[in-house]
Amino acid sequence: MKIEQIYTGCLAQGAYYIESDGEAVVIDPLREVYPYIDKAEKDNAKIKYVLETHFHADFVSGHIDLSKKTGAPIVYGPNAVTSFEAIVAKDGQEFKVGKVTFKVLHTPGHTMESTSYLLKDETGKEVALFSGDTLFIGDVGRPDLAQKAGVMTKEDLAGTLYESLRNKIMPLSDDIIVYPAHGAGSACGKNMSKETTDTLGHQKQTNYALRASMTKEEFIKEVTTGLAQPPAYFPLNVMMNKEGYESIDEVLERGNHALSPEAFEAAANETDALMLDTRAPEVFAKGFVPNSINIGIDGSFAPWVGALIPDIKQKLLIIADEDREEEVITRLARVGYDYTIGYLKGGFEAWKSSGKEIDIIKSVSAKDIGEAINKGEANIIDVRKESEYQSEHVDGATNLPLDNLNDSMTALDKNKTYYVHCASGYRSMIYNSVLKARGFDNLADINGGFKAIKENGQIKTTDFVCPTTLNKK
């Protein structure tokens, strides 16, 4: 038997490939399915089932494409309703794969169809639990994503999750290995560990949500407290996972279309396409196509695309480092952004060489701006999360989290100069690029973000909440 976790850092997502005696299953696959098919071919194995733990909100699963390409049926747990053919398993139902067996454990709470898969080896011993978003390492799935107005509240779902954990998962043997669908960085939980597997016994000892003495009321309160607003694209991904989607092959064919600077400019002018520059923020700042926005491919790319581009059907034109264009298109498709219509051939250097207009984002060092900050003469915008800001921030800085950019920009005056920072520079460049594209020309990015500000030493910081009204000086 082989168990392989295929972890994708930018989504903090774990898919699983399990093979036994020439047969295999894939659990919660990503949109691009050829890596799973290749693994099966190398093992001389047939993919027998595609197991889905629930209708994912944070990414578009590859279940439909993988099923079509391999003939393997898609399996969901109880309560699942799909627009495509699938096996809706019963609680306790078993699926034989080679010499091993997967047992369906219906574990609702994160969503009502949420299901864990208990793996038994060829001797019948229970060895692993693929827990989806029911149980994470250090946390449990948030119960607010599947609320139904007038039917179930997040408190109702949290109560259901409590019962699932106590009745289905906690009675299992301590030596079972837990394989969750996500790790630290995912928006599907709030306190996940950077570790991506653990024994169930250790989780019973360390996971706050599995405390033996915890009452149902205590669990509901703890699990529902401190939940951040989920990204706007989550319900759209759920819909795609339930109802189906365009093949990834067609998405790649449409998007992987090289455009000369002239053709790229014409496409930008003649369509409602958004120009998305995926280069590193420090490179983008030194020169970019006017009105393009920067979300760097080497950061939390897909989640920020989903958070800041509200229309999942938005047409996109890509500016990327050479030879990374297909990677960008693929990673956009992972979160349902399927309408890339082309990319700038030769990247920004080709645009620059053609003599076309370019723009820049002004950057300043923490040292250069330090005196102005200490005198209260600089309008500082901190785009980190509220929790980061409350932990420690520049005295007098205004907290306008990047997550709320589309709502908070109305508080800004285009005639004022603003100095923007995040923790290290990734989020602040996104913020600056979006505002620049919307006519804010008096912006400067603080190099190195809050980390550089602290290291500079001469700038006063505070660890308590300051007024969040903008500096009027």
- Structure confidence by residue, pLDDT tens digits, 130-142: 999 999 999 999 9
Closest by CA to 428, choosing from 296, 329, 249, is 296
48, containing H or E segment: strand 46-51
**CA pair distance 359, 224, nearest whole angstrom:** 44
pLDDT tier at 4 (50, 70, 90 boundaries)?
A: very high
The residue that leads in pLDDT, 366 or 470, is 366
| 348 in Cβ contact with 288 (< 8 Å) | yes
407, containing H or E segment: helix 405-408
CATH 3.60.15.10 placement within the chain: 2-235
Q: State yes or no: pLDDT of 468 exceeds 70.
A: no
Which pTM value belongs to this model?
0.90
* Tokens matching residue 137: 């390492």
- 355-376 per-position pLDDT tens digit: 999 999 999 998 888 888 777 7
pLDDT tier at 307 (50, 70, 90 boundaries)?
A: confident
CATH 3.40.250.10 placement within the chain: 246-353, 362-462
Closest by CA to 115, choosing from 87, 139, 137, is 87
**CA pair distance 106, 308, nearest whole angstrom:** 34
Fold held by 362-462 = Oxidized Rhodanese; domain 1 (3.40.250)
Distance spanning both ends of the chain, measured CA to CA: 67
Q: State yes or no: pLDDT of 471 exceeds 50.
A: no
Fold held by 246-353 = Oxidized Rhodanese; domain 1 (3.40.250)
* Tokens matching residue 60: 């578009």
Q: Which pLDDT score is estimated for 457? A: 77
Q: What is the mean pLDDT of the chain?
A: 93
Q: Which pLDDT score is estimated for 466? A: 42
* Tokens matching residue 259: 């455009």
**CA pair distance 416, 444, nearest whole angstrom:** 11
**CA pair distance 247, 31, nearest whole angstrom:** 9
CATH homologous superfamily, domain 2-235 = Ribonuclease Z/Hydroxyacylglutathione hydrolase-like (3.60.15.10)
Residues ≥6 apart with Cβ < 8 Å to 278: 294, 295, 296, 297, 301, 318, 319, 320, 321, 324, 328
* Tokens matching residue 280: 């590193």
Residues ≥6 apart with Cβ < 8 Å to 42: none
